[in-house]
Every structure is written in C-alpha cells, then in structure tokens.
Amino acid sequence: MLKGFILIMKRLLPSPFSIAIILTISIFLFALIFTEKTILEIALFWENGLWNPGLMNFAMQMMLMLVLGYVIALSSISEKIINQITVFCTNTSNAAFLVALSTIIVSLFNWGLGLVFGAILARKVGEFANKNNINLNYPLIGAAGYSGLMVWHGGISGSIPLKVSEKNHFSEIINNKELLNNLPTNGISFETTIFSNMNIIASLLLICIIPTVLYYLGKRKSEKYQLIIDAKPTISKPILTGAEKIDHSRWFSKIIGFVILAITIQKVFLANSLDFINPNFVNLLLFGLAIFLHKNFYEFLNSVNKAIVSASGILIQFPLYFGIMGIMNSSGLVDVFADFFVSISDGISFPILTMLSGGLVNIFVPSGGGQWAVQGPIVLQAAIDLNVSISKTIMALAYGDQLTNMLQPFWALPLLGITQLKAKEIIPYTILIMCIGITIFSICLMIF
C-alpha cells in the first residue's frame, strides 16, 4: 500500500517549479470566477505581488539562512562533532537514537544546518558500519538524519515566526485595512510563538519521543548496507602571492568572524525582550559563525559555492508565490477562502484545521516562506473572525508546514544524494515520524 502511494505521488507531482506555475494559473482562474475583477486587473495584481520589495527581502533572508546553515555544516568543527557521535553508533538502535537526537537539536537552531548535518551524520554512520562490519538498518538511519525537518519550524530559524516578528510585516502581505487594524504593527514576539509554553513542550516531546521510537525500531533485524565510497581527491597546496594571502589567512578570517559575532551578541545584551530575534539577527549570527568556524576565507567561499545550489528553489519559486499572494490580496480572494474556513471551523477546531491545511498546502508548496505568502493572509483573516489567538494560529500553520516534509521529498533531496538512499527507502519511517508529530501537535494545540 505504501509503495503504491509513493508511486502515485511520483506520477501526480511534477517538479516544485511546475507546481508553482500550476498554482498561479489556478489562483488566477479562481479570482476570475469568484471575484468581479477583470483579466487585466488580476494580471496587474500578480505583477505587483511578484516584485513586492518587502517579500523579495524575505526571499533573500531565507536563502541566506539556508546557505549559511549549510556552510556551517561543512566546517571542520561540524565534521569533528559528527565523528565523535559516530563512534557510539555501534548498532542500529544506538545509531538511530543518536542521529535523530543530534539532528533534531541542531535543526531547532537552524534548518539548513540541521538538514545537511543530519545527512552527513547518517552517511558517516553508514561508512562506520561498513568499515567495522556492523549490520545496520541504513534507511532507518537516513530517516533519523531527516527528522530535523519535522521540528525546524518550531525553532529559532522558523521562517513564519521569524517573519511575523518584524515590524510592519503584516502590511507587506495584507491590503485589507480593517484586518491590519486588528494586527500588531510591532510584529508578533518570539515570546508568544517559538518560546511559548505550547511550543516549548511540543519541542521537548519531539526531542524525547522521536529518537526513542526510532531506537526501538532499530532493534529489528538489520542487514549490511553497502555504500559506494568515493576516493577523496588529492588537492595540491596553492602557491600564494600578494593579496591572495588574505584569502588564506587563518587569523584574519577569525578576527572578522569574531567581530561579527561580537556585534550579534551585543544585540542580545542590549535588548529588553526577545524582539531582537528576527531574520536579520539569525543571519548575522550564522554569518559570523560560518566565517569563524572555517579555516580561512578561501575555505569559507568554497563551502558557499557548494551550498548555494540548495537555495535555487527559493530563488526561482518565491516570486511566483508572492505573485499568488498579490492576486489573492488585491482581488478579494482572501476573504472568499477565509469565509469558507470560518464556515467549517469554531474556536476549538480552527487551530487543528489550520495545521492540517498547512500540511496539505506544504505538499504543493514545499517551503515555509512560500506557504506563508500564499496561506498567511487567509488564516489571519479567519483567526480574527473566530477570535482565535494569532500566535497560536501562526504556530499551527508552522506545525502543518513541517509535518508533510516527512511525505514531500523536496527537502530530502540533499540527504538522498549524500546518503545514496532512495526516497522509497526512508518514507516508511518518515511517515511514522509524521504521525508522531500530528499526535503531539494536535494535543498541544487543544490543551494550550
């Protein structure tokens, strides 16, 4: 049954870029049918949304967050940490527990870092098992290395909570003045989203339960999984002349990295609340760490060149989602969808339905930031109409976004490439992780 579902998904789902185009056409038609706007008006709404300055800034922030996290994962200190963890992975149970626990903790700090860290850690565990003739359920280890994408949106790099923490962000995505009057102009503080009691408890439960469940799954019979290990190329040391020495200077890069980190830390001590946490703060922190943790600028830039490929989806797809948002906002389609949401919800069921709808939309829009551009105005309008907490609604949407990452293989592509696994090998385990998440998030949304 599961294999059949995977085959259907592969046949029905084209590339994420094609999905974005199809969604754009669909929203254009919806606006034409359910509103009184003309084709020309809708086209202008789309164009205005496409190049929305505030949202283009958001796209750049998300690209940097992914790339810089990836760069940190490629640093020598990350490699040392991974090697230290690998030594304790003497069987499938231990390996599954340690890989999942490490990946989840790292992903709560940064999703790009967690994604690559988990992939490299899973790969190193596989190589360690091959070298020491250990039978290993390698697909389970791969799923453990991907488990961070189930928790990332509840961490400090969660794109939706980060973006709504910025001043005047809501005015960038909402044209309805009546709705804007019901939203805070100073943004939604991390104190009520990421650091709320609900999210802290949900995150702690995930940290405890997911590695434990994978630990017991690892007790089943394991087999040796043969990895193809490429020989590392021999790199000759370049002869440096003149200003080239700056790029290869260890002390110069350390000083620059330290200065950037000092500026970042200063913001923490000068702040009276958690309002300082926003996309720019996180990226400044990541930028300083990425430079400081690399040997020199030369190695840092090499890592950037490797990591930049992972951000191509954000670069080319986000403007399309902003165009969709432009149509929905300016045509009045947001009100149509919000009214439908209100008609099938009440104050208790709305957060759960928001989470489930977020999971469904994430299958087609595999990006938290892109999903916020499409779905954010709708759920905000519905939350106001139903008198439901805005902060809780935002986290419900964030939970839904990360849930179906365990089903949608878009973000798993880097991991699959590094580990040499196939999507069909890890999905049986990632679906189980998704079910754990649905249970935990639903309970927390109902209780708090």
Q: What pLDDT, on a 0 to 100 scale, did the predictor assign at position 330? A: 85
Residues 320 and 300 in one domain: no
Residues 104 and 208 in one domain: yes
Torsion angles phi and psi, residue 136, rounded to 5: -145, 135
Residue 166 maps to a domain: yes
Q: Which position has the higher pLDDT, 149 or 420?
A: 149
Q: What is the pLDDT of residues 130-142, one digit of tens each?
A: 888 888 999 999 9
Residue 390 maps to a domain: yes
Q: What is the pLDDT of residues 94-122, one digit of tens each?
A: 999 999 999 999 999 988 888 889 999 99
230: phi > 0 → left, psi -120 to 50 → alpha, else beta; which? Answer: beta
The band of 18, judged by pLDDT with boundaries at 50, 70 and 90, is confident
Residues 351 and 219 in one domain: yes
The band of 179, judged by pLDDT with boundaries at 50, 70 and 90, is confident
Residue 20 maps to a domain: no
Residues 148 and 214 in one domain: yes
Residue 4 maps to a domain: no
Count of structural domains, the chain: 2
Residue 403 maps to a domain: yes
Last residue of a domain, one of 264, 283, 307: 307
Residues 157 and 300 in one domain: no
Residues 172 and 54 in one domain: yes
Last residue of a domain, one of 307, 322, 346: 307
Residue 236 maps to a domain: no
Residues 292 and 313 in one domain: no
Residue 15 maps to a domain: no
Q: What pLDDT, on a 0 to 100 scale, did the predictor assign at position 434? A: 95
Q: What is the pLDDT of residues 379-410, one digit of tens each?
A: 998 999 899 999 999 999 999 999 988 987 67
Residues 72 and 174 in one domain: yes
Q: What is the pLDDT of residues 192-248, one digit of tens each?
A: 999 999 999 999 999 999 999 999 999 886 666 666 665 455 555 666 666 777 888
Residues 174 and 257 in one domain: no
The band of 2, judged by pLDDT with boundaries at 50, 70 and 90, is very low
Residues 393 and 407 in one domain: yes
Last residue of a domain, one of 307, 328, 356: 307
Q: What pLDDT, on a 0 to 100 scale, did the predictor assign at position 335? A: 79
Q: What is the pLDDT of residues 333-365, one digit of tens each?
A: 877 888 887 888 888 899 999 999 888 888 777
Residue 239 maps to a domain: no
Residues 286 and 373 in one domain: no
Residues 267 and 343 in one domain: no
Q: Provide the domain limits for residue 379.
A: 33-228+308-447
